[in-house]
Structure 1
Amino acid sequence: MAATKRGIVLMNLGSPDSTQVKDVRRYLNEFLMDERVIDMSYLGRLLLVKGIIVPFRAPKSAHAYASIWTPEGSPLIVLSKQLQQALQQQVPEPVALAMRYGSPAPWTAYDELLEKVPGLEEVVLVPMYPHYAMSSYETAVEYAKAAHAKGKYSFRLTIIPPYYDNALYLEALADSMKPYLQQPYDHFLFSYHGVPERHIYKGDVTGNHCLKVANCCEVNSEAHKYCYRHQCLVTTKKVAAMLHIPENKYSFSFQSRLGRDEWLKPYTAQRLADLPAEGVKNLLVACPAFISDCLETLEEIAVEGKDTFMQAGGESFTMIPCLNVHPMWVKAIASWVAEPIS
């Protein structure tokens, strides 16, 4: 029986083309006009994003991007390319990159694979999002599916589901963190990208569980399949157990809040300001919602977060890098491609 002709697409968030304000403005407009990111009417979103948020945020974001930009370009893009190359050494199928915002677009990746594999029958899409959220995993997957349908491609699209509790992902994550536990620390903070509470309510297929039942994330429910908060808690607890971190020495929080709405709590920025007064002087921080280091880890946490913590009385602050191109992570993806998880 002939082997299926396949290709692989690694899909990440994306990045501005440069640190120039015009490029950052274009990127932010595309990102924030996504109805799964800011879920309001088109007109309301248009007025908010293009009339208020982007004009004020673009220059500030451009400065922040400039502080982390490398000679090769955006850290997220550079690291994504390195992951693509590392995976390509592990698998026979061609590997392409796609981004949800900016370039390369999904159709660019599909066309690249078609050129390399005439008669392509299947593309395995690997979203760089371990946890399900409408503003990350869902929007990336739906964008890739829409591009597939619009292009009327003949190959089938196989999508790797959220892997927040997959053993290979957890083992890679724990192994990437282990060396940092050799240094003295008082607390380990798992900081995840935040989402508005309304996104959690919208994702609750039961309509009466998420953020409504006491300890909702720990009470079994079919709502957990789409509950970002629950999935972040699972990752936190499982990795902490694998690393033998005592329960009183770790916690989780949510970063990158935008606007005045209620977002998932506790807020990372607030926890970083409060921890020194609670006796935490030496802090380790990891950001498991991100596969590749980017603005939210390299600038928001490693620079702004560190400043907040140290100015509040902290003595040492260490941000643990994302998985990036960790060998166990590359092997995990290769394994999923060989036998897609369900």
Structure 2
Amino acid sequence: MASFGFLQRTAPSTLVEERPTCSGRCLPVIQRCRGWARGRLTTTERRAAATHRVRAASTDVVCFEEPHDIKGGKAVAAAAGPAVDKVGVLLLNLGGPETLDDVKPFLFNLFADPEIIRLPPAAQFLQPLLATIISTLRAPKSAEGYKAIGGGSPLRKITDDQASALAAALRAKGQAANVYVGMRYWHPYTEEALEHIKRDGVTRLVILPLYPQFSISTSGSSLRLLESLFKSDLALKQLRHTVIPSWYQRRGYVNAMADLIVHELRKFDDVPSVEVFFSAHGVPKSYVEEAGDPYKEEMEECVRLIMAEVSARGFSNTHTLAYQSRVGPAEWLKPYTDDSIRELGARGVKSLLAVPISFVSEHIETLEEIDMEYRELAIESGVRHWGRVPALNTNTAFINDLADAVLEALPYVGCLAGPTDSLVPLGDLEMLLQAYDRERRTLPSPVVMWEWGWTKSAETWNGRIAMIAIIAILLAEASSGQSILKGLLLAE
């Protein structure tokens, strides 16, 4: 789901022109994205632009009469809103199994997602079979992890609490709104949330993924599902909406993270010696290098902004950014969290403060992977003093900032906003996803299964043969009960 990166970097300026009927804020902004094409801006220029994004809300916007009204390469001015205006906010999240019995079907939903495991077009009919096999193999180990944190994921309850807190914060700021939760892989599913939105008669919708940084495999997957649901439902096609793809650079979010870090740092006896260790969820390296996923760039900028705020408060601690939760044999973003912990221990670091940077809710990757596995690894590696920054959950400053983000997005419902807010522009679903179908062929598989062949034809047939062989091995494992690939699939 590389559309956001590609749209923001390569969308041609001819897509939009200024219309005399537009208000003062309707400007031809698409051409301003062109300077972000790969390699066009230096690191210094990107950081300067990022600083501007933090200091000022986006004011450049192109408005459409309907969310999908783009004819002849031109956008027309936004029409007046309906007489009865009802605002909704849709929070998107991953979801998680609430009981141990939910683990296997949850994993099936995860691996059945073509954004997680992509098969060649000729083999896509095998996706459900492959998802069944992988979820069957991984379920026992995953169930152990969920058992260790109480028998299920707390993600649904926390996300419901965040929705309630956000609705209250919006009311306090003078904006009535219904807040809905749509999970990608478990209840309440996105489809369920959309049914509630239609039933409640929402006329303006702000779509807010609960992922601070955009990635193909998180926000991207959820938004691709939304796009298909919108296209298949006449009522949803007519629903005026906007998407906030990422919000890692917002001042309220940065301050909330800095608050938590400073609070935990003060618990250490020797504060200056503490290494601030940011652990983010990993993504395949190929997503970033070949598919244009902005996740790594947004993550690095996010950490820089947070540490600049921590430093401004008088703490000059060194920090590390690493990536956790990799799956399979392909190379993921480095450095890996486990490798970085070992290296820090070998360098003599004795105090470590873990910061789960890509997560805004406690779930298995914070409560089990970080709190148990990585804490134990840190102690084994020589770390003597361990701390962990809690996830934001319903942190007041965080929720208030999300409310502000929603209020700032409402004027742009049915519009494509300029690139001054983040590396990924605010915008309407279809507009944001236009580049996806055009560039999908460039998206690599997260699992490299073959690399031989001298001609295009040979590579194609080698790939087909390899896929058939792998499916045969997996079927043999399922029937015999002996796992040939289990160690590979369960690799961390």
Shorter-chain TM band: 0.7 to 0.9
1:283 to 338, 343, 352: 352
TM-score norm. by structure 1 comes to 0.86
5+ residue gaps, structure 1 = 205-225
Alignment-derived partner of residue 114 in structure 2 = 35
Aligned residue runs from structure 1 range 49-198, under 5 A:
49-51=131-133, 53-69=134-150, 74-91=153-170, 92-116=176-200, 118=201, 120-152=202-234, 153=236, 154-184=238-268, 185=271, 186-198=274-286
TM-superposed CA distance for 1:164, in Å, is 1.8
Give the letter for the 2:264 counterpart: Y
Alignment-derived partner of residue 297 in structure 2 = 230
Find the residue that maps to 2:259 and give its secondary structure. helix
TM-superposed CA distance for 1:17, in Å, is 3.8
Aligned residue runs from structure 1 range 252-263, under 5 A:
252-263=321-332
Closer/same/farther in 2, CA of residues 47 and 275 from structure 1, 3 Å limit = farther
Find the residue that maps to 2:241 and give its secondary structure. strand
Closer/same/farther in 2, CA of residues 335 and 272 from structure 1, 3 Å limit = same
Find the residue that maps to 1:199 and give its secondary structure. helix
TM-superposed CA distance for 1:45, in Å, is 5.1
Find the residue that maps to 1:309 and give its secondary structure. helix
8 Å Cα contact 2:89-2:177 kept in structure 1 = yes
The structure whose RCO (Cα within 8 Å, separation 6+) is larger is: 2
Output the CA distance in 1 between the equivalents of 2:350 and 2:126.
Answer: 44
Find the residue that maps to 1:266 and give its secondary structure. coil
Find the residue that maps to 2:377 and give its secondary structure. helix
TM-superposed CA distance for 1:77, in Å, is 0.9
Output the CA distance in 2 between the equivalents of 1:157 and 1:17.
Answer: 31
Matched, 1:25 2:104: yes
Output the CA distance in 1 between the equivalents of 2:326 and 2:246.
Answer: 22
Closer/same/farther in 2, CA of residues 3 and 285 from structure 1, 3 Å limit = farther
Output the CA distance in 2 between the equivalents of 1:194 and 1:124.
Answer: 27
Matched, 1:13 2:94: yes
Alignment-derived partner of residue 337 in structure 2 = 268
Alignment-derived partner of residue 294 in structure 1 = 363
Alignment-derived partner of residue 243 in structure 1 = 310
Matched, 1:303 2:372: yes
8 Å Cα contact 1:107-1:151 kept in structure 2 = no
Give the letter for the 1:133 counterpart: S
Find the residue that maps to 1:274 and give its secondary structure. helix
8 Å Cα contact 1:107-1:148 kept in structure 2 = no
TM-superposed CA distance for 1:74, in Å, is 2.5
Task: Give the share of equivalent positions with the same residue, in percent.
Answer: 30
TM-score norm. by structure 2 comes to 0.60
Which structure 1 residue ranges, 4+ long, deviate > 6 Å from structure 2?
Answer: 245-248
Question: Which stretch of the first structure deviates more once superposed, 277-286 or 182-191?
Answer: 182-191
Q: Computing the radius of gyration over CA atoms, which structure comes out larger, 1 or 2?
A: 2
After superposition, give the CA deviation of every residue in 1:270-305 in whole Å (9 maximum; x if it has no partner).
112222221111100111111111111110011111
TM-superposed CA distance for 1:322, in Å, is 1.2
Matched, 1:325 2:376: no
TM-superposed CA distance for 1:54, in Å, is 2.1
8 Å Cα contact 1:176-1:326 kept in structure 2 = no
8 Å Cα contact 2:276-2:317 kept in structure 1 = no
Output the CA distance in 1 between the equivalents of 2:341 and 2:131.
Answer: 29
Output the CA distance in 1 between the equivalents of 2:232 and 2:245.
Answer: 22
Output the CA distance in 2 between the equivalents of 1:246 and 1:331.
Answer: 25
After superposition, give the CA deviation of every residue in 1:102-137 in whole Å (9 maximum; x if it has no partner).
111223112223333x3x211111101111211111
8 Å Cα contact 1:277-1:313 kept in structure 2 = yes
